[in-house]
Amino acid sequence: MASKKVITREEWEKKLNDVKIRKDDMNKLVMNFLVTEGYVEAAEKFRMESGTEPDIDLATITDRMAVKKAVQCGNVKDAIEKVNDLNPEILDTNPQLFFHLQQQRFIELIRDGKVEEALEFAQEELAPRGEENQAFLEELEKTVALLAFEDASSCPFGELLHISQRLKTASEVNAAILTSQSHEKDPKLPSLLKMLIWVQNQLDEKATYPRINDLSTAVLEDPTV
Amino acid sequence: MVTNQEPGSDFSFDLVKLGLRLSEDDIADVEAEEVPSHLNTNNSSGGFVVVSTDKLSVKYTSCNLHGHDVGSVQANCPAPSRRLVYYFEIEVVNAGQKGQIAIGFTTENFKMKRQPGWEPNSYGYHGDDGLIYRGSGRGESFGPTFTTGDTVGGGINYATQELFFTKNRELLGTIYKDVKGPLFPTISVHSPNEEDDCLSLQICSLKVHLHDCPFLFALLWYQDTLESFDAASNNTPIPNPMIQENGLNEQGVTFELHNRKILRQLIRSGDIDSTFSRLWEWYPQIVQAGHIEDAFNYARSELAKFFEIPRLEDLLQVFNDNSAIQKFHKIYQNDTIALLAYEEPTKSPVGHLLKMNHREVVADAVNAMVLSTDPNVKDAKSCLQSHLEKLLRQLTACCLERRALNGDQGEAFHFHSVVNSGKEVKPASS
């Protein structure tokens, strides 16, 4: 096996200097992050200070965040109405998302101890969906199992009651709204950082060069030979 | 060319470089590679095959089934190499009496009357026996046979330097690609009534942009790559900016933030006089004589005013009248004066100073300069780039280096394309 190529700090810094990174591209990246993550005030300020135009109407972020927040707080009914106000097609074209929202509604009813109401809701709203789709039926069975336990949190599927289930549903709605607005559902910045880690690991196999190990300081470490 | 980098000065800015960040003309060679789009009708083995008028279908016409009467056809150009993966597919419409169909890759000089794989520097996966041939008449066991109704694909993974083949979208296996030069997608038929319908030579020849990576790896079953990507990204936590807000780093990052914000606003709005008075007030050490390098740059920020003054005479007039300029040494006037020596200032070597985005450049320079007055900063030059920019430079350099070590094959990384790709992804409907 050939030995690794050694790139000195000096050589590497020259390469880094030769890289062309445009400032407005960086601004776009930052804006993309703010917009996708829903930091609407920061996005607005950044638009004014940097002159970077967001690729989406900032007002729609506020709406999207309201939906997300409603799910996170357990107000699922509210969230469903808000989504339909925003764009009725979102739930029409996403049966899975609609099922998950209804499932979340059911979970919230159980959390509030409204067992009878939950049962009724399951029969009227959830069961018909389960008949349509085998995958929904399996999820439905797990969810309804919550009813069989006095203390629902001790049910094997008790994690459904966990706050992370809300966050999961909220992020699913968030992604669906973004997709409906022809916007990517994930911000680019985290993927780029992941890619940096990945490509450095890949390059390690072939070369020794100054790495950035700590993303938060971006300090270039001397190559270890 | 103007230089402001005197030896020994530990604080200098290359405005040309800063200006480059704003230039529009630096992304020339991005993905200019030709991609095979149809079959080459000029170079096919005449007499044995008929290529249909859409140039995507072939049919074997000869009745002589001699081993030298194979009908091979190449694509119109070699598989593009400046990407991670190239892939094409064919659909077998009619396998004919003997089912002697092959899919593979060949070099430019390949003999069109032979099956891909039989000749040196060629590779072929053959339908009648399911064997892989690489530069030899003797095949090696590889996959199942394929026949009428099957969709068969061939691809090149430039990252691993391997060829791979698929049948009905399932990966059959990989072989090492020892030919380093360009390879043409090639198909061959050798049995009456055989007809291959190349659905499209471009199908799945994905241009891999960043966000496609995991998707593509999953699609093409590069599980290892996908896993290492996932492992790398999961094991190393992406630092949460919120955590650091109260941390030690805060000082460096937010140093004089408020003042820098005001300065940036003033420069962006073109109010240079106010910029100067603030600078005198807040950071006299930067503007004072003796810090020539720094002041040099401030003289340049004077030029931001000239945006609105297109005529040379007016430019001179402003120069003479302006009291602010008197505050500075003759030395750094030379640079700005240099502009006047050109008929068309925007085309002069210092023309970058007049570009529309110059205010932005000046604002960046002032920003970095103020940052450098932070006593905690050891390396003044590092102020010029944000952490974000450093990370992006590192990312680009790593991708380029990795590609260079791979014989210049594989996907190039272009930050500009990645950032601007979102809009093109929009569905064309509606």
Query: CB–CB of B396 and A186 under 8 A?
Result: no
Q: Which of A41-55, B207-221, B270-284 has the highest mean pLDDT?
A: A41-55
User: What are the pLDDT digits (tens) for B100-117?
Assistant: 888 999 998 888 778 889
Identify the three-state secondary structure at position A42. Answer: helix
- Distance from the Cα of A129 to chain B's closest Cα (Å) equals 29
- Distance from the Cα of B225 to chain A's closest Cα (Å) equals 10
pLDDT of residue A79: 93
User: What are the pLDDT digits (tens) for A184-222?
Assistant: 878 888 888 888 988 899 899 889 999 998 888 888 888
Q: Which two tokens stand for residue B427?
A: 């569905």
Could you give the CA distance from residue A194 to residue A6 in angstroms, rounded to a whole number?
24
Burial of residue B137 (CB within 10 Å: 0-12, 13-18, 19+) is exposed
CB atoms closer than 10 angstroms to residue B402: 21
- Among B403, B419, B429, pick the best mutation site for testing chain A contact (most A Cβ within 10 A): B419
Nearest to B391 among A22, A186, A196 (CB): A196
pLDDT band, residue B254 (cuts 50/70/90): low
pLDDT band, residue B357 (cuts 50/70/90): low
Q: Is the pLDDT of residue B25 over 70?
A: no
Nearest to B399 among A184, A199, A217 (CB): A199
Q: Which two tokens stand for residue A34?
A: 């703010």
pLDDT band, residue B343 (cuts 50/70/90): very low
Q: What's the predicted TM-score (pTM) here? A: 0.53
Q: Is the pLDDT of residue B423 over 70?
A: no
- Distance from the Cα of B25 to chain A's closest Cα (Å) equals 11
Q: Identify whether the C-beta of residue B110 lies closer than 8 Å to the C-beta of residue B74.
A: yes
Query: CB–CB of A21 and B415 under 8 A?
Result: yes
Nearest to A198 among B233, B390, B418 (CB): B233
- Distance from the Cα of B234 to chain A's closest Cα (Å) equals 8
Identify the three-state secondary structure at position B216. Answer: helix
Tokens 């694509």, located at residue: B75
Nearest to A197 among B17, B233, B399 (CB): B233
